[in-house]
Structure 1
């Protein structure tokens, strides 16, 4: 891996395909991981592997580390995505000059090999493990026990606190209210949420669950987890410190 300032660059070996409007936008065996932010990479695609015409929109965007980007409109099938591709033709990072970065959300679908990926590319340095545990886990909100189990599944994800997934039979479901919030994770899938009402106070979106998680996280299907950052979690009787994350 090469690091230049805040940007890390690493060649990938997975086949990556990008689709828009039902048509193939790019198909490469030589994707490049670029960490524009510390948490996850973006895919940059060799220009030779782009299958559609990119139309310069006349707009540019400047990055302190990557330089000036020329923005392009992507026309594919029956769709058009304005400013959804960028090329850093004169980047101070030479490795980027002949690569195209497509806006992940602006495309209809991305595939690594034959499996669709979501939200953003999965980092090769992030691992998710789900382990059964007999440790006694108890969750309190405002002094009220809302969940308690000695049959939790612990999810360990690189860079995040341990998450305690509990069976719904161990949760005070009478205190939970369904939320309209949904989020997506490239490693676990789409999450749905509950809020918790204790007395007159509603604690919004502090509980989540995956009905149909992605294959590597199947063992948490149907279980619920609480934001450690927002509730009091006791493990084997010991109150755990509330972690400080971007979810706090």
Structure 2
């Protein structure tokens, strides 16, 4: 057993195998077991291979992290490390320990951590931040960006609502054939046919984002006079469960004026689609 594995050799506490939704100290943590088969890969090596993970919601977190029993992680490849510099790359509260992952000549810093919560002793978190591990799979399907929340729902519904998108006095889109995406905790997004969008008013820009529910948004647009202001995006090849949005264009209601059946859509803080 490696020094790191020996340091981590604590059996998962019984309470962590059960659903936990009550306050520990302050603030509130919760976790619950999952039956999904999770694997995290570096090249063709599964450094995580678990059929008994738990989902852990850190205080005030919208999305969970997975916790893995130590026996399901290649702890022999872990060495003590330091917290990552980027705030968005770390857990919301300080971790008890950080570990780097060493595979052959490759050292991946800040790849795993343990929570500073006694009830979660015996579990490791391994980051899903893009570019750390090479890929993650649930069963045989690839997933990315962050773990899926079992209580998060994403529906793509065809509609005949009248959607108009304006940038000041200019109409960028006018459609009666939107597909509306309703996602738990996020504003409704209106995906419009490309033929209902004034593409002459838009300039395609570099950009991409990934969503574990929708796939990869790989086309983005701005206006010619504001090339730094990202206002629209599209998923050319979304995941099958959200297939109706393929090739359609959606706009940020936070940055433009959008009306639906003549009623203004309230803008909210901008974020990735």
Aligned-residue CA RMSD in angstroms?
2.3
- Where structure 2 has 5 or more consecutive residues not aligned to the other structure, the ranges are 1-18, 85-89
TM-superposed deviation, 1:176: 0.7
Q: CA deviation at 1:109?
A: 1.0
Q: Contact conserved, 2:165 with 2:173, CA < 8 A, in 1?
A: yes
Q: How far apart in 1 are the matches of 2:267 and 2:73?
A: 46
Provide TM-score, normalisation by structure 2: 0.81
* Partner residue in 2 for 1:210: 235
Aligned 1:146-225 pairs, distance under 5 A: 146-191=172-217, 192-197=219-224, 200-202=225-227, 204-225=229-250
TM-score, normalised on structure 1?
Answer: 0.88
Residues 1:42 and 2:65 aligned together: yes
1:60 Cα deviation after fit: 6.4
1:64 and 1:123 map into 2 onto residues whose CA distance is: 17
Change (3 A) 1:202 1:64: closer
Considering fraction of residues, name the structure with more strand. 1
Does residue 16 (structure 1) correspond to residue 16 (structure 2)? The answer is no
115, 120, 124: which is aligned to 2:150? 124
Alignment gaps of 5+ in structure 1: none
1:233 aligned to which of 243, 258, 267: 258
Q: CA deviation at 1:82?
A: 2.3
Distance 1:59 1:92 in 2: 19
Whether the 8 Å contact between 1:28 and 1:49 is mirrored in structure 2 is yes
Tell me if the contact between 2:79 and 2:102 (Cα under 8 Å) persists in the aligned partners.
no
Q: Which protein has the bigger helix share?
A: 2
Contact 1:16/1:28 (<8 A) preserved: yes
CA distance in 2, matches of 1:145, 1:203: 20
Bigger Cα displacement from structure 2, 173-182 vs 66-75: 66-75
Aligned residue among 114, 119, 124 for 1:100: 124
Q: Matched residue pairs, number?
A: 241
Distance 1:180 1:64 in 2: 29
The 3 A distance-change label for structure 1 pair 59 and 170 is closer
Q: CA deviation at 1:246?
A: 4.5
2:98 is the counterpart of 1:71: yes
